[in-house]
Chain A
Amino acid sequence: MNLIIDILISGLISGSVFALLAIGFSLIFGVARIVNIAHTAFYMVAAYCIYFATHKMGFHPVWGMVAAIVLVTLLGMLSYMIFINPIREHEGAVLIATIALAMAFQEIMLLKFTGTYLSVPSLVKGYLVILGVKVFYQQLLTFCLASLIMAVLWVLLMRTKLGLAIRSTAQDREVANLMGINEARVALITMGISVGLAALTGAVVVPLTIVEPHMWMHPLIMMMAVVVLGGLGSLKGSFIGAYILGFAEALVVFLAPMGAFLKGSVALSIMILVLLIRPEGLFGVSFEEER
């Protein structure tokens, strides 16, 4: 019984994290066709910002989080304007520009904070006992915040004019342009939202994880797996795919021997099996071929 609750909590939390990351990633992919490898690097930068604000400057964690989200969003938009926008027509160049960006962020953090494992205090202390299992309030808070963010994002995308612009640009860039949508500006705003989501994810999850310069690698891989599993450009797909992979990871970690090593392998194998049956992912809309 304890094991089941452990698995449930761990799966829900990693599922929410993957969902938030994957939604941000597929947003910018849909609108601007950018495969942003640096997406989770922004998540790492946000985590370091919070560490810096709380430990070095003595801010309250909540203000640290707000500052981190604002700063990282600005950083994301700035790097989009400087490095990605001028070469957007060259798909390959954009790809390695984002890889290089991620490497640069990792190195800067390594230089500034060294490679030691750091941690950030949780927002709320204490725990709750459910059926004999300790559930920290921080875990509950993380899950609730993640759900809240997803709800807000859904409203933004489905109920506002900006959301309409983003969705129509994702469907067909040229027609969206003809309808009077400033495509370049939508792309910039989407980049801001996408990076902001990555920063938010970092902010809500950072008290539960270890902060170190390589912390972006594992989420990156899982995020990409989620996006492919759910279907590129489908928010519902990302959401469900994230929980499938999150629970798969949790199950393997708690049940299989050597689980910690195999968790990535099993989750990715599930993705490949699903793709064998449905090549466009669970909820993917097969895009009209761009020729």
Chain B
Amino acid sequence: MILNVNGRQETVDVDPDTPLLYVLRGELGLNGAKYGCGLGQCGACTVLVENRAVFSCVTPVVALEGKRIVTLESLGSPENPGPLQHAFIEEQAAQCGYCTAGMIMRAEGLLRRNNQPSDAEIRAAMQPNLCRCGTQVRILRAVRRAAAVVRTQAEAHG
């Protein structure tokens, strides 16, 4: 089966009921998305499908043919982090860091549809993702910071 991941066509040979998370990590070597609960309850595995944040651990690949999948890896690199990644570093919005990739992808989904979210909108959008270390306040700050950067970039590109 062919999956569109980060703009590339990837051919994978897996059972159709395999969760996307296993394919990303096990077949494609994309380890950004994390296995947390495996039940769609914590959000560590969050990626975008057609620009909407989804739990990749409960998303069977059979549902994904022809749909655009975006993972953390496409947002930037350690040398050149994207706006959200940069903002999470600036705000030091991690303790153990296990939830961070999912948090960033959840926020990416929000900023793609709304680059001037209110605090209430950020809180509502981030609600499905859990951080057990208690960095939520920093995460909210990071998302606000990234939103401002994304807005500035959008205005610069007119």
Bound together: no
Residues of B within 8 A of A (CB): none
Residues of A within 8 A of B (CB): none
